[in-house]
A and B are shown apart, each in its own frame.
Chain A
Amino acid sequence: MELSGAQILVDGLKREGVEYIFGVNGGAAMPIFDALYGETEIKLIPMRHEQGASHAADGYARATGEVGVALATSGPGATNLVTGIATAYMDSIPMVAITGQVFTHYIGSDAFQECDVIGVTRPICKHSYLIKSSDEIADVVAEAFHIAKTGKPGPVIIDIAKDAQKNKALFEYPETVDIRSYKPQVHGDPDQIAKAAALIKEAKRPMLYAGGGVVLANASEELRQLTLNTQIPITVTLMGLGAFPETHPLAMEMPGMHGSCCANYAFTDSDLVIAVGARFDDRVTGDLSKFAPNAKKIHIDIDASCIGKNVPIDVPIVGDAKNVLTELNKQVSTADIDPWRAQIQEWKQKYPFEYEQKSDVVMPQYVIEKIYEHYSDAIVVADVGQHQMWAAQYFKFTEPRQWLNSGGLGTMGFSLPAAIGAQLGCPDKTVVNINGDGSYIMTIQELVPAVTMQLPLKIFIINNMYLGMVRQWQELFHGKRYSAVDYHDNPDFALLAQAFGATGLRVEHPDDVEPALQKAKGITDGPVVIDFIVDEEENVFPMVPAGKGLGDVIRGLS
């Protein structure tokens, strides 16, 4: 039967099991939105800004492991998606972003709301398609989903000319996808895995270094087995938090710029680093010349181009983390490294994350600790900045996909829309959004769909009236010249929440933190926003200053 291109698209999305589409309507995408009108199998979530749509699709994908779908019109609609697409790309999140495009015969003519979306997004997506004819749509949708979720996941863009949406074609959905030029290598080379096992056996000061790839590959269980089999201490990066329970004695917590001293010292002294789905990011390694100087390195990654990019690798293993760890687990046993374990425990005990509690002002770390007490099982969606680091430090994550944040691109404004996506994807979970005053206001408009859908989001703002992380750098490296970071002129977020139709609370005293969190727990028919007014000039420590080695970590101001 012949269907319109838009209907073929929607039917294709159904075949892919899409539950939600996050979108903003507009001229060149109207046929698609029309095809979604009254649709029950796929729920269309109207967001208030296309950036919100792409972050919501991203949050849905991070929380569920399924492909998130965002939809926008041509031109400005598409360019507004770009930040969310780049965010997903940097963190390898499976997403399909669909954009309307002007009529085929207008393409290239600087038509109204025309933009070369394929050109704009080329460096920030895994792949992209421009569709000029209805009969291409079914195949492209199937390919796009296949590409988005296999191998190293990532966003795929489908740009569809308006006439291709309107014209009719036969709907024939491919049963399987076979792309001759795209065959991700999922099984690790057995010889390399054997070499890795041999190195692990010899090492005296080995450490595991796991990243977001473990979460993406759903390999958390295999990682736990490897850690427990070998009893090798483990550090999990910002992107991987929850892949291994931070409450476990072998957990050294997060490494890097604001990571634990223990993890950073361990890198510096280690003789074998076993990296799994982590990419030796500059925020983890610090000065490369001083990074793990005495260690051999094993690197397990699905993306061959990631291996050896920043740090020379002794044993590269290209493959899916789940497969490789399963094989590796068959070849390892408890490591004979008692003195090293004792050293790790000593560092852990000596240098925990710590802060100075105050009686008259709310300390941001205290708020996080209390959030953890009340919501230890929740999905935590953080934004970007100081609050993100405090949340990563003081909330103890125990499960994969429990912690969602924009680690790679560091996109402020990510968290509120991402929390919406996460809540829709995981309706039975409590979703806590830990936000900053600077990041919250960047996508605050997305409170509207959250209120409309009565999502029980817990939105906790760590409000220090500054663009805090930048202010911290200005304090430490720019002689306290606080250029463009003073946010004291922000509105009252509690009152503003009420104007949006949400519950809004304001907390200014340490004694009120606990009761406010209690109260928030009882509100289940819509979002609750608590504006925690915290110590304005508290800094995030430990800190490895940019360009320094991990051994040069500053533990605190004192």
Chain B
Amino acid sequence: MNPEERHIFSVLVENRFGVLARVAGLFSGRGFNIDSLNVAETHDKSISHITLVTHGDAQIIDQIYQHLNRLIDVIEVTDLSTAGTHVERELVLIKIATDDPRKRTEILQVAEVFRGRVIDMKPASIVLEITGDEGKLKAAIDIFNTYGILELSRTGKIAMLRGSEK
């Protein structure tokens, strides 16, 4: 078995119903895994941008690339992991219990370290928004876990190539 690698695919697709199902079906039908998936409209309303994180050996990654390209509604596929340097971000919303007021101050200090923003505050809970790459989010989640996370929701990764590398 060849070593498995993690790859981030940037996929531009026609913004139509059913396209996401075709992309997802390509993975489920062949036993490939999707680690994270993010889909949203671009500045051009007719195009959606899918950022898809997957893993597999070189042969599987090549098959994923080829099969994505084969879908009729797919306009362009870029394997960001091989196409050049790229930037990536994820966003997480974390709700933490703050029934003890002394804890709240501490949480706010920790949030500061991660450049988190408070987007909701209630007597017994606080919601933080943190963006960053995967490593940063993992570190933040690990720390806040010690305070008791009530709820957590995170986007998949979104990514693009740097500068003019396109």
Interface residues of A (CB under 8 A from B): 118-119, 122-123, 126-128, 130, 147, 179-182, 303-305, 308-309
* Cβ of B95 to closest chain A Cβ, rounded Å: 34
Which of chain A's residues have a CB closer than 8 A to the CB of B34? none
B67 within 8 A of partner (CB): yes
In angstroms, Cα B14 to Cα A128, docked, is 14
- Say yes or no: A130 contacts B25, CB within 8 Å: no
Which of chain A's residues have a CB closer than 8 A to the CB of B74? 181
B163 within 8 A of partner (CB): no
- Say yes or no: A305 contacts B21, CB within 8 Å: no
Given contacts A305-B66, A308-B59, contact A130 B72 (CB under 8 A): no
- Say yes or no: B73 contacts A304, CB within 8 Å: no
Interface residues of B (CB under 8 A from A): 13-14, 18, 21-22, 25, 29, 59, 62-63, 66-67, 69-70, 72-75
**Lowest 8 CB-CB distances: which A-B pairs, in order?**
A305-B66, A181-B75, A127-B72, A123-B29, A304-B66, A182-B72, A122-B25, A305-B67
- Say yes or no: B22 contacts A122, CB within 8 Å: yes
Which chain B residue has the least Cβ–Cβ distance from A306?
A: B66
Which of chain B's residues have a CB closer than 8 A to the CB of A308? 59, 62
Which of chain B's residues have a CB closer than 8 A to the CB of A147? 72
Which of chain B's residues have a CB closer than 8 A to the CB of A130? 18
Which of chain B's residues have a CB closer than 8 A to the CB of A305? 63, 66-67, 69-70
Most buried by A among B22, B25, B72: B72
* Interchain Cβ contacts under 8 Å between A and B, 6 examples: A122-B22, A123-B25, A181-B74, A182-B72, A304-B69, A305-B67
Which of chain B's residues have a CB closer than 8 A to the CB of A181? 13-14, 72-75
Which of chain B's residues have a CB closer than 8 A to the CB of A119? 21
Given contacts A181-B14, A308-B59, contact A122 B21 (CB under 8 A): yes
In angstroms, Cα B75 to Cα A145, docked, is 20
- Say yes or no: B63 contacts A309, CB within 8 Å: yes
In angstroms, Cα B67 to Cα A308, docked, is 13
Dominant SS among interface residues on chain A = mixed
* Cβ of B10 to closest chain A Cβ, rounded Å: 15
Number of residue pairs A-B, CB distance < 8 angstroms: 33
Which of chain A's residues have a CB closer than 8 A to the CB of B14? 181
Known contacts A118-B18, A181-B75, then 16 further A-B pairs from the complex at CB < 8 Å, ordered by chain A residue: A122-B22, A123-B25, A123-B29, A179-B72, A180-B75, A181-B14, A181-B72, A181-B73, A303-B70, A304-B69, A304-B70, A305-B63, A305-B66, A305-B67, A308-B59, A308-B62
Which of chain A's residues have a CB closer than 8 A to the CB of B67? 305
Which of chain B's residues have a CB closer than 8 A to the CB of A127? 72
In angstroms, Cα B59 to Cα A122, docked, is 24
In angstroms, Cα B21 to Cα A87, docked, is 22
* Cβ of B63 to closest chain A Cβ, rounded Å: 6
In angstroms, Cα B14 to Cα A180, docked, is 9
Which of chain A's residues have a CB closer than 8 A to the CB of B62? 308
* Cβ of B54 to closest chain A Cβ, rounded Å: 15
In angstroms, Cα B70 to Cα A180, docked, is 13
Which chain A residue has the least Cβ–Cβ distance from B68?
A: A305
* Cβ of A210 to closest chain B Cβ, rounded Å: 22
Which chain A residue has the least Cβ–Cβ distance from B25?
A: A122
Which chain B residue has the least Cβ–Cβ distance from A184?
A: B70
In angstroms, Cα B74 to Cα A147, docked, is 14
* Cβ of B76 to closest chain A Cβ, rounded Å: 8
In angstroms, Cα B65 to Cα A166, docked, is 41
In angstroms, Cα B43 to Cα A368, docked, is 64
Which of chain A's residues have a CB closer than 8 A to the CB of B66? 304-305
Which of chain B's residues have a CB closer than 8 A to the CB of A128? 18
In angstroms, Cα B59 to Cα A308, docked, is 8
